[in-house]
Amino acid sequence: MDESKRVTIIEELKGGGQKEVFRASHPELGEVVFKKIYPKDDSIERTKREVLAVSLLNSAHIPKIYFHNCEQESPNPLWLIEEYVSGQNLRSIIQGGNKFDITQICDFLEIMLDLTILSEEINLVHRDIKPDNIMLDDHNKIWLLDFGIARHLDLESITDTNSPFGVFTLGYASSEQFRNLKKEIDIRSDLFSIGVVAYELLLGENFYIKDSNNDVFQIIKKLENNSIPAIRINGDAQFQLSAFIRLLGDHRRYRRPRTAILAKEIYLSLKPTLNL
């Protein structure tokens, strides 16, 4: 049965380019997200890998993909039926002038570090951790979305090795990622993005983008030469949490924790110093 014909569109959530995203209803599943993707270049293979990533991770903090047509021969359009999460993405929360306190930022870090541990176990790097792809639902539960450019380290890379730039979101990707240094891309690239987002949730601004006038080359230069500065966080009297966020967001790959498990261990060792 073609499950795409069983959904009823409620409203468009996002449109344009290759992808249309709708809130929809399904007779058995209730509210769902229905995505239509119009194939171009490598979109079929990337979508297949997105489905694989979500399936392998199987996390309560990642929306499930219930049905898809990725395995059909030359599907046009591609479609996915996903779990619907009611809430706001972190971008909307930041733009609303809201900032996270120490308890909220610790909840965020713990969930994201646990997800990176799961990712590392299956040789996966999300590569697009940013406020737009993280949701806080109506019950304050954190969800990580959009594995569309996730890198499966044990599969052949889709991105052209000779390209001077990889796939990335400016201001959130580490230098090894946007410079397409494939041999250097590992879980430390995601740890960098988590540090950048944590800083933004606390201060309401992206350290690498602020004061740049959206000058791409200025942002890239800053990403390659500067790390997140120390910040004052209420409840972090010994500046241990501040130092940890700075460690994650260090522009030097070799300075970041080499594994997600090590990052979590460092976090747990400092947690008793915090006033939560």
Chain segment 81-130, per-residue pLDDT in tens: 999 999 999 999 999 999 999 999 999 999 999 999 999 999 999 999 99
Cα–Cα dist 44/12, whole Å: 22
- Looking from the CA of 53 toward its CB, the CA atoms found within 13 Å total 29
For residues 162-176, average pLDDT: 85
Enzyme catalytic residues: 128
Lookup: tokens for 155: 């599969």
pTM assigned to the model: 0.95
Check if the beta carbon of residue 47 is closer than 8 Å to that of residue 78. Answer: yes
Q: To 10 degrees, the CA torsion angle through 74, 78, 81, 86?
A: 160
Give which of 231, 241, 244, 230 is closest to 276, Cα–Cα. Answer: 241
Give which of 44, 17, 3 is closest to 148, Cα–Cα. Answer: 44
**What is the model's pLDDT at position 141?**
97
**What is the model's pLDDT at position 263?**
98
Collect all residues with Cβ–Cβ distance below 8 Å to 210 and sequence separation of at least 6: none
Cα–Cα dist 265/259, whole Å: 10
Q: What is the pLDDT of residues 62-79, one digit of tens each?
A: 999 999 999 888 888 899
Per-residue confidence band for 184, with pLDDT thresholds at 50, 70 and 90: very high
Lookup: tokens for 161: 């090795």
- 38/91: higher pLDDT: 91
Residue 219 has pLDDT above 80, yes or no: yes
